[in-house]
Amino acid sequence: MQTTIKLLKKHDELRIIEDELDIYLEIPHMAYMEVKKTDGGKAILFTNVVDKKSGKKFDEPVLMNLFGSYKRTELLFGRSVEGVADEITNLLHMKPPGSLGEKVSMLGDLFALKSVFPKRLKKRGECQSIIKVEGDVNLYDLPTLTTWEGDGGPFITMGQVYTQSLDGEMQNVGMYRLQIYDKNHLGLHWQVHKDASHFFDQYAKAGKKMPVSIGIGGDPLYTWCATAPLPYGVNEMLLYGFVKKQNAQMVKSITTPLYVPHDVDYVIEGWVDCEKLVVEGPFGDHTGYYTLEEPYPVLEVSAITTKKKPTFLATVVGKPPLEDKYMGWGTERIFLPLLKTNASDLLDYHMPENGVFHNLVLAKMKPLYKGHAKQFMHLFWGSGQMSFVKHAIFLDEEAPRLTNYESLVTYILNRFDPKRLFITEGINDALDHSSPESLVGGKLGIDATAANVVEAPTLLSDEELLLKIQENIPEVRAVVQYMRHTKNPITLISINKTRRIKDCFEELSLLAPYIRVVAFVDEDKNDINNTYMSLWRVTNNIDAQRDIFVSGLMVGIDGTNKTEIDNFQREWPGDVECTPSVVKSLKDRGIWDLDPELEKSYQL
């Protein structure tokens, strides 16, 4: 981390805040604000960290927003992200050499792979300079943050969670939020689909306790690798070696059999009683909503080891854009070649950050036959973590660049036909709140690979359309039409919902000449003039099987919060929002410096 801090300073990518700030809300609110700035702001090093509740002052600084820009992400990789992807492509397409020169070249490539495999050291690591075990363990000695007022407590947010299979043959490192319950117990929010959860099941079946070691800090690439969507059983430290061109140097934990990188700043070790689950949460998560309380495994901490002068690494999650936008970009680019191994005609894909990754994917392909796009939908929904994606739009090779949103949406809407909607059911991310049941819900695929012959509707002004709509749906409060130059304009409606949106949509049948795609959102907490946050809201709030309606050329989307009106049986979570008194205090002290227009745009 010290090397990283020097690198950030050298490139003017670090903001140092020396003002005294609290681990409760103040520090995370500052990081949340910083990442909303144009180009992601700067990494922030908080050097005067306190816990006002206990009166404790921490010696170590807190570093946040580390990956929060494209520039910083590539600085931390040490090279071009696209270059890493190209190397993977070359490796996957390696052919038997046909000449002496090709043999020499291949030997060079293969020799470079020797750095992929982690190396286990026999000595202790820098991370074990200070060792506290058993009765000396105290998780409250770490400057762990409470990010949101509704959180269940302080959470470690950048922990590298090292686990292994029961037989010790497979190692894994993942990133899961970790709730501090007391001085020596941590909640482990590993979701049912994750490798650590699979290992947990093995230990539970065998009736044995499960060892866990958690690293914080060190080389930032350890943290990124912990988020990488590698296949089951593949050790993420192999990816570290591939990217860095050097072996991960691992040392054995003090009280568990697990190996961790020698230079992480902290290691938390312990054992999980697989028969004991403890309620974890709530937690304001990267979806922009709170995830609700649920039982998860708990770690009884047996040791905490640190460097002599550690730096505590943390992140903040909530409404987009966030630091994970840039970490996800690295993942997106690097894993494209691997995704292509099962989809050779895939050209590119992209996950917009306001779709919070698992809610929306855009993909460009080379369609070769009828139904090819639908085949790709099935492939995506059956491929590792891509299977969590709820909504996928497929385009042909003539489509604009996938990040050129204005041109891309124009292209999609000029080719859209309700007949090319595909709705099915599949697994959902555990953080998804909108489906009728946890972990399973609707999936929406759109085939925009071929042009249609649909005629454009007759256009009315927003004012005229609002009056016509209100004649049959008086609950409607406002209307804005987008993409009016296309064959399928989008009508966004705010409503004070008093009945099912499906019933409201059916009332629009007489307005079919004027409407094509119509989306409803609640009047409360939504600005229908804000397209960025409207997309965030709608993709979060819909289950395709329940909330997509088709009538002729009209498509309706129910992006409202679901209640008893909808016969919704699960608890609907609240939005993640900054605490106004904390923001005011930071502004009064001259620390909060976000442009008010951005503050409004991102609905802080």
Q: pLDDT of 381-430, one tens digit each?
A: 988 888 999 999 999 999 999 999 999 999 999 999 999 999 999 999 88
More confident residue, 255 or 453: 255
- Strand, coil or helix: what is 579? coil
20 φ, ψ to 5°?
A: -70, 120
- d(CA 365, CA 345) in angstroms, rounded, equals 6
More confident residue, 397 or 233: 397
Averaged pLDDT score across all residues of the chain: 93
pLDDT of residue 100: 57
pLDDT of residue 103: 52
Instruction: Write out the H or E segment, with its range, that includes residue 349.
Output: strand 346-350
pLDDT of residue 106: 45
Residue 93 pLDDT class (50, 70, 90 cuts): low
**Both tokens of residue 420?**
């090319």
Other C-beta atoms lying within 10 Å of the C-beta of residue 52: 13
514: Cα separation from own chain's centroid: 37
pLDDT of residue 29: 98
Which residue, 371, 150, 186, is CA-closest to 267? 186
User: Is-above-0.85 flag for pTM?
Assistant: yes
pLDDT of residue 97: 56
pLDDT of residue 116: 87
**Both tokens of residue 202?**
């093995």
**Both tokens of residue 214?**
């958690």
Section 97-119 average pLDDT: 63
Section 203-220 average pLDDT: 97
Domains (ranges, CATH) in the chain? 67-78+117-313 (2.30.110.10), 342-448 (3.40.1670.10), 462-566 (3.40.1670.10)
591 φ, ψ to 5°?
A: -95, -40
Q: Where are the beta strands (DSSP E) in 125-247?
A: 130-133, 155-156, 160-164, 171-174, 178-182, 185-188, 210-216
DSSP string computed for 506-563: HGGGGGTTT-SEEEEEESTT--TT-HHHHHHHHHHH--HHHHEEEETTEEEEE-SPP-
Lowest model confidence (mean pLDDT) among 59-73, 87-101, 454-468: 87-101
Residue 340 pLDDT class (50, 70, 90 cuts): confident
**Both tokens of residue 588?**
């009064």
Please determine, for residue 224, whether its predicted confidence score (pLDDT) is greater than 90.
Answer: yes
pLDDT of residue 573: 95
β-bridge mates for residue 146, sequence order: 24
Read off the pLDDT of residues 137-151 as tens digits, 9 standing for 90 and up: 999 999 999 999 999
- d(CA 304, CA 180) in angstroms, rounded, equals 14
Read off the pLDDT of residues 513-538 as tens digits, 9 standing for 90 and up: 999 999 999 999 999 999 999 999 99
CA distances from 162 to 118, 211, 269, 279 (A): 14, 9, 10, 22
